[in-house]
Amino acid sequence: MPLDLNTKNDLIFRLGEILPPASLITKEEDLKPYECDGLSAYQRLPVAAVLPDTIEQVQQIVKVCSQLQVPIVARGAGTGLSGGALPHEGGIILGLSRFNKILDVDLKSQTARVQPGVRNLAISEAARPFGLYYAPDPSSQIACSIGGNVAENAGGVHCLKYGLTVHNIQQIKIVTIDGELITLGSETLDTPGYDLLGLMTGSEGMLGIIVEIVVKLLPKPHAVSVLMASFDKVEDAGNAVAAIIAEGVIPAGLEMMDKPAIHAAEAFAKANYPLDAEAILLCELDGDAEQLAEQICLVDKTLLNARASNIVIAESAEEQAKLWAGRKSAFPAVGRISPDYYCMDGTIPRKQIAFVLQEISRLSEKFDLGVANVFHAGDGNLHPLILYDANKEGELEKAEQFGAEILELSVKVGGTITGEHGVGHEKIDQMCVQFSPAELTQFFAVKSAFDPMSLLNPGKAIPTLHRCAELGAMHVHNGELPHPEIPRF
């Protein structure tokens, strides 16, 4: 609901007392860059956008909004893909882009203390002279901010072996809805009490405003090799993923691309991908030299047994970078072959990859929309890119329905509706499919404990029970999945 004029004027006046004019944005044309995040299918203008420089300013802003009951949507780099930073028409955008300093790199504890607006890649760049790096590496790492990574619990190519954001942070400072500054986690590896650090990670800005983060740094591995395996059938590539893990090998990264994605990425990045393949797997292995040689031999044998038609081993850093450049540029590459695309983010058990890819192909025919599959195969995190043209009437709605059915399929095979992009605005209806009324009620209880007036990113991530009832979507009960046709092996 929009703000009434008196409250709006009072809000702008009080924010103007906290911030200099250049840090308070109120003109409609200046607010346009804040109307959406990377999921540009939805746009909405906020009442204002504020760009604080200090934690004290954040605290004062939050206190004013709390007193006036004005919603707050925190925003980092705006690279999110679920509408998590979609503004509230009666609220403000709290931009954290000026919180962009690396405050400390501690070599003894192998950690870095950073502000939330620091780019993901900048952390590894700062740690590189010391032989260290930050492991989670989303494809958007050149642009995405670490605060957004924490809010969405972002992953990346190397999350299979080294974990998601939640596994690579040690402490955060947040500003509560009351304007209080509190610390969650510690400089040690564990703390007593509830795991509020884990709770905050992936909470999508609904529980507090993140203003400082301590991340873990890892030593760079002694040796690295990357294998690219080509397959004549997409299903064989999917089955190969589970076969590699079953051999006891945990690759640093294990990524999969199907033919449309291969062609798009090759045209864009010139990564020497095989254009005749139906699918490729990129498998990165690391460790000491002796361990690496054993893993390469075992993975090579496993891929051949899984019907790989060709295997290329890239050992030089240049060759490896070239192969990964194609994968990491796949999203913009697909953007060149379709007027629009809709990116999904379901996660499934590895053993279901081949089956789910077959079902996605069937849904592509059903909706008459193309799809390019690019995903973190090792942890089952699917990223189907649904191709459509928003200029054609009804195509966006078809793409949304196609995406919804992929997410519901993910739940049916024992997976989840998101692996790293969050729920945000986009997937809120599918939360009704994944969770029961009792579970959603507990989510709301947690939200209420931190934000009783529901001012922090309201209307995102957790649907009301009334909404779920209207959708008729509460059909997964007591953990029972009513679809016997789905393989359970």
Q: Are residues 41 and 121 in the same domain?
A: no
Residue that terminates a domain, selected from 169, 189, 219? 219
- Residue 143: CATH number of its domain: 3.30.465.10
Instruction: Return the bridge partners of 210, or none.
Output: 174
Instruction: Pick the last residue of a domain from 79, 95, 111.
Output: 95
Q: Is residue 464 part of a domain?
A: yes
**Is the same domain home to 133 and 229?**
no
Name which of 467, 463, 466, 462 is nearest 205 in CA terms.
462
Please indicate, yes or no, if residue 352 is contained in any of the structural domains.
no
Q: What is the span of the domain harbouring residue 132?
A: 103-219
| 265 occurs within a structural domain | yes
Q: Say if 484 falls within a structural domain.
A: no
Question: Amino acid identity, residue 407?
Answer: L
Q: HSE (CB half, 13 Å, CA atoms) of 274?
A: 18
Distance CA 124, CA 129 (A): 9
The CATH number of the domain holding residue 45 is 3.30.43.10
Is residue 114 a part of any domain in this protein? yes
Tokens 């070599």 belong to: 107
Contact 93, 75 (CB under 8 A): yes
Shared domain for 240 and 283, answered yes or no, is yes
198 and 133 share a domain? yes
pLDDT in tens, 42-89: 999 999 999 999 999 999 999 999 999 999 999 999 999 999 999 999
Same domain, 461 and 421: yes
50 & 135 share domain: no
Total count of domains within the chain: 4
Measured distance CA(105)–CA(108) in Å, rounded: 9
Q: Which long-range contacts (CB under 8 A, 24 or more apart) does 473-478 make?
A: 473/429, 473/430, 473/432, 473/433, 474/432, 474/436, 474/437, 475/433, 476/411, 476/433, 476/434, 476/436, 477/436
- Collect all residues with Cβ–Cβ distance below 8 Å to 443 and sequence separation of at least 6: 435, 462
pLDDT per residue, tens digit, the chain (489 aa), is 789 999 999 999 999 999 999 999 999 999 999 999 998 889 999 999 999 999 999 999 999 999 999 999 999 999 999 999 999 999 999 999 999 999 999 999 999 999 999 999 999 999 999 999 999 999 899 999 999 999 999 999 999 999 999 999 999 999 999 999 999 999 888 889 999 999 999 999 999 999 999 999 999 999 999 999 999 999 999 999 999 999 999 999 999 999 999 999 999 999 999 999 999 999 999 999 999 999 999 999 999 999 999 999 997 999 999 999 999 999 999 999 999 999 999 999 999 999 999 999 999 999 999 999 999 999 999 999 999 999 999 999 999 999 999 999 999 999 999 999 999 999 999 999 999 999 999 999 999 999 999 999 999 999 999 899 988 765 444 434 333 443 443
The two structure tokens encoding residue 369: 């929309």
Residues 184 and 245 in one domain: no
Question: What are the residues whose beta carbons fall under 8 Å from the beta carbon of 236, sequence distance 6 or more?
Answer: 279, 306, 307, 308, 354
Helix residue ranges per DSSP H, 72-145: 120-127
Do 87 and 136 belong together in one domain? no
Q: Which residues pair with 112 in a beta bridge?
A: 105, 215
Last residue of a domain, one of 166, 190, 219: 219
Do residues 136 and 120 share a domain? yes
150 and 193 in a single domain? The answer is yes
Does some domain include residue 351? Answer: no
Mean pLDDT taken over the chain = 94
Residue 41: the pLDDT is 87
Say yes or no: 208 and 229 in one domain.
Answer: no
DSSP state of 27: S
Instruction: Classify residue 32: in a domain, yes or no.
Output: yes
End-to-end CA distance of the chain: 49
Structure tokens at 179: 């304007």
d(C-alpha 367, C-alpha 395), whole Å = 9
Give the residues across from 347 on adjacent strands. Answer: 381, 416
Phi, psi of 179 (to 5 degrees): 85, 10
- Separation CA 43–CA 36 (nearest Å): 5
Task: Return d(Cα 114, Cα 103) in angstroms, integer.
Answer: 5
- Indicate whether 212 and 227 sit together in one domain: no
CATH number at residue 312: 3.30.70.2190
Q: Is residue 127 assigned to a domain?
A: yes
pTM: 0.93
